[in-house]
Amino acid sequence: MLKHSRTMVSLVAAGAVLAIPAVGLAKENGSKGKAPATKCAKAHKASFVVHGTLVSAAPDDATTPASEATVTLLVTSANSHARKSGDIPDMDAATQGVQAKGATLTIAAGDAYTVTLKGYEGTDTPSVGDRVKVQGRTPLTKSKCAAPGTSTADRYGTTDVKKVRISDRAADA
């Protein structure tokens, strides 16, 4: 009997020793996980996707190391982060949220992005009205990590465009 009670007391004591550090690491509100300061330390990147029709395009000069490619599009749709980032102007201020449809967006030269042409054959080149898809990432500060009173557009950083795909809508004449 004495042998079993010594074993039981040893197990309870070992469990208590292991539980003490876990109690010390728990947050005051009782939830588990990292403290808010460590969650805010890492920058969050949000997806930036815009669809539209081509207004104009200037190709990149392959002989120079810098990118001279410029693409201008008429926005037909944009994801939530693209609308809220402040890169696309609000087309209807009377309606709640940012109405991106109908805005003009220019992807400037100098950004390190790739332009992909899809569906073009032979000497066919991009023309006005072709479909355009812009993809990138934009840094986002979480609302609980931002200073009080910070607007939604101010929580977004400078968008980094990675890809622009231009798709041929119809054969050129």
> HSE (CB half, 13 Å, CA atoms) of 89?
7
| 45 pLDDT above the threshold of 60 | yes
| 61 pLDDT above the threshold of 70 | yes
What mean pLDDT comes out for the span 50-57?
94
Domains in the chain: boundaries: 36-167
Q: Report residue 143's pLDDT band, with 50, 70 and 90 as the boundaries.
A: confident
Is-contact 138 85, C-beta < 8 A? yes
What mean pLDDT comes out for the span 44-63?
89
What mean pLDDT comes out for the span 76-99?
88
Winning range, highest mean pLDDT, from 48-52, 125-129, 148-152? 48-52
**Mean residue pLDDT across the chain:** 82
